[in-house]
Amino acid sequence: MARRVYSEPGDRIVSRDPVEVKRYGGLTRLNHWVTAITLILLALSGFAFFDPSLYWLSGLFGGGETTRWLHPFIGIVLFLSFMLLFLQLWRYNIMRREDLVWLSNFRDVVSGHEERLPELGKYNFGQKFVFWAMFWLILVLIISGVMIWYQFFPDLVSVETRRIALLTHSVSAVLIILTLILHIFAAFWTRGTLQAMVSGRVTGGWAWRHHRKWLRELARRQRADPAE
Ligand code: HEM
């Protein structure tokens, strides 16, 4: 059986006072923020078609026609960008037994008694849930999006199938926006987390408190090879 790994090759403990831990490299952060910006642009342009009361949002993109033309292309950028992120991170988002224990003791997470919870790898259940929800929803959005991209693929599917694809696209869009709200809320609620995606580093205390198994693995790795 393949050995479980909790840390990416670039993760490392930086010997400073206070100790810092490198969590994301520059390219991964760039990749994340491109993904984030494209999803927000898609939500804004998509809402313009969602209901006539929101049509004014198309003004942000230069009017209805440009918005309709632009939206699918931004969708392709989101898909490619997320897949790039996915390829880097999927391994560390595999659900483990300790994640279910963490979930069943969610009350301790909310009340700040994390010492009662199992030690975790790079991500917790909530982060993994968001990761996989975004993966599946983006897949459904891109497939249903191509089906309703009348301008380029007018004969791809029948009218009935296109109607179902449109409904699927709208429902998935609402679900991914809810997932994004959860993701942003968690990033702000857990103090010190935003820093991971801004500077790429977290404090040793943050890593010890929230992702101790990941930190222990880094310490072991660096003890075995101090030059790493
Ligand atoms: C604009 C709002 C966003 C903020 C403030 C934000 C913030 C963050 C932060 C702070 C992290 C690091 C968490 C950690 O390492 O513990 C993170 C990770 C991540 N974010 Fe975002 N993010 C945003 C939008 C998005 C969007 C739109 C997506 C995807 C569609 C996304 C996908 C991810 C993924 C995949 C990770 C890595 C976590 C994992 O693999 O489980 N984020 N984000």
Q: Give me the mean pLDDT over the 125-151 stretch.
A: 97
Residue 94, helix vs strand vs coil: coil
Residue 186, in any domain of the structure: no
pLDDT digits (tens, 9 = 90+) for 56-106: 999 999 999 999 999 999 999 999 999 999 999 999 999 999 999 999 999
The answer to whether the beta carbons of residues 128 and 95 sit under 8 Å apart is: yes
Domain harbouring 43, CATH code: 1.20.950.20
182 Cα: distance to centroid of ligand 1 (angstroms): 10
Check pLDDT > 70 for residue 147.
yes
Q: What is the pLDDT of residue 1?
A: 63
Q: What is the pTM of this model?
A: 0.92
pLDDT digits (tens, 9 = 90+) for 178-228: 999 999 999 999 999 999 999 999 999 999 999 999 999 999 999 888 777
Residue 59, in any domain of the structure: yes
183-208 burial: b if 16+ Cβ within 10 Å, else e: beeeeeebeebebbeeebbbebebbb
Q: Which residue has the least CA distance to atom 16 on ligand 1?
A: 193
Q: What is the pLDDT of residue 16?
A: 75
Q: Is position 211 annotated as part of the catalytic site?
A: no
Give the count of domains, the chain.
Answer: 1
Residue 117, helix vs strand vs coil: coil
The pair of structure tokens assigned to 7 is: 């840390």
Residue 10, in any domain of the structure: no
